[in-house]
Amino acid sequence: LNRKGKRVRKNRLFRTVVLILAALMILGSAVVAEDTSASPAPGTGTAQETVTPPAPETAGGETETSPTPGTAEETASAPEPTPTPTFAPPSPVPPEEYHSGRPTVAPTEAPKKAVIDHVNYPKEYKDFAFSKDRKLLEIWFPNIKDADMAVLKYDGQVWLIDCGDEKAAVRGQLLLKQLKIKEIDVLFNTHLHHDHIDGLALINERAKVNQVRICFATDLTPSGAKLVQYTGEKKIPVKKYKDGSRFSMGDGAVEMLVIKNNESSLDMNNQSACMRITYRKRSILFLADMERPGQEAMINRIGPDLLKCDVVKYPHHAKSDMYTPFYQAMGAKLAIVTSVEGRGDAGQKSLVARKMPTVYTSVKGQFTHLVTDGYYWLCERVKITVQ
């Protein structure tokens, strides 16, 4: 080979070596670049840093573990180790049990109706009890029939609505004795018939009557004349009241409205005073001896609103049926009848036909007790424990 040929071979060898070195350098750079892109430093590169929020706490203090965001493939290919359970620090007060809709369990079932009748339905709300911080209006009936007497107690005061005849007053004396009542603030007489006023003397022997309220002239009946004589001897004040009169007991929360017919065409029974007694949201209507003619006259005169009540003291011992528009206007849920059950009077048959829960006062050895806190009525029997 000539000298020129040798130069050619040396130049080709040199170029080959240079190309091999260059290829090795390029290959090394690619490997470094791949490692760098696979493991970027936190907070750098194109991938965003993931911040896991703190797990929420559940009721009871235990921590609830939320799943880490990610795809199903990632979870399957790289399962996370089981977390170590955490516990709330000890507390002197046990955590409240969780209840959907209310934080704590009610102590007793809240009644769904205003009148709780333990006479006719003894198992209904059998554990019901009034809150101890509530003032109660109590209405007591002695075990009497064909006569009227009711004892009202509220906030340290005692009222009577009628006092029966002498036979009924003996039962009334037992009631006053059992209740340890020694003084009666006011006796309201609805009308001057013997079965509503002739028991005054016996009642006054047991508990001092401080005042008598009447709504008729005393010379209209023999019982009126007896009342004048006895109250004069005992120096008991006698005052009058009339239709539209209002009275209140104790702190004034218990109110009584008098509703009375005055039409001369009506007899005394149908003019007898009716009392609507209200305490907060609850009410009771005493209808004395007013029968159908008086009921028709009354609703025509005053309308239905003042007749609304939860409980009605049924008129005239349920001897007769009531005037239907009057009965419907009351909307009562319970009737108290000062008579004996099963006698078959027209009023008793009507109450059965109308499916009205009814409590009769003439039950041997038991008083009838109505009590309200202004939101619920409770009706029950109470055993007679005195003689």
Q: Residue 372 falls within a domain, yes or no?
A: yes
Q: Are 142 and 149 in contact (CB under 8 A)?
A: yes
Per-residue pLDDT tens for 360-373? Answer: 999 999 999 999 99
List C-alpha distances in Å: 199 to 225, 226, 315: 14, 11, 19
**What pLDDT shows up at residue 18?**
66
Q: Which amino acid is at 330?
A: M
User: CB count, 10 Å around CB of 21?
Assistant: 10
pLDDT of residue 12: 64
Q: Round to whole Å and give the CA distance between 36 and 40.
A: 6
The conformation of residue 57, written as its DSSP 8-state character, comes to B
User: In terms of residue numbers, what domain contains 232?
Assistant: 116-122+134-383
| Residue 343 is assigned to a structural domain of this protein | yes
Note whether residue 42 is domain-resident: no
Q: pTM here? A: 0.72
Looking only at the bridges linking them, the beta strands covering 137-141 and 254-259 are unpaired
- CB-neighbour burial class of residue 93 (10 A; exposed 0-12, middle 13-18, buried 19+): exposed
Residue 14 falls within a domain, yes or no?
A: no
User: Residue 128 to residues 39, 125, 374, 379: CA-CA distances in angstroms?
Assistant: 72, 5, 15, 11
The whole-chain average pLDDT of the chain stands at 83
Query: Residue 39: what pLDDT?
Result: 44
State pLDDT tens for residues 155-203. 999 999 999 999 999 999 999 999 999 999 999 999 999 999 999 999 9
Contact between 201 and 171 under an 8 Å Cβ cutoff? The reply is no
* Total residue length of the chain: 387
Q: What angle do CA 339, 341, 344 make, to 5 degrees?
A: 95
Classify residue 80: in a domain, yes or no: no
3-state secondary structure of 317: helix
pLDDT score at 283: 99
Q: How far is CA 73 from CA 109, 140, 316, in A?
A: 52, 79, 87
Q: Is residue 184 assigned to a domain? A: yes
Mean pLDDT of 241-245: 98
Q: Which residue has the higher pLDDT, 362 or 94?
A: 362
Return the pLDDT at 112: 85
What is the number of domains present in the chain? 1
The reported pLDDT for the residue numbered 30 is 52
In a domain, 23, yes or no: no
> What CATH number has the domain bearing residue 275?
3.60.15.10
Contacts of 213 (CB under 8 A, 6+ apart): 186, 187, 188, 189, 238, 239, 240, 241
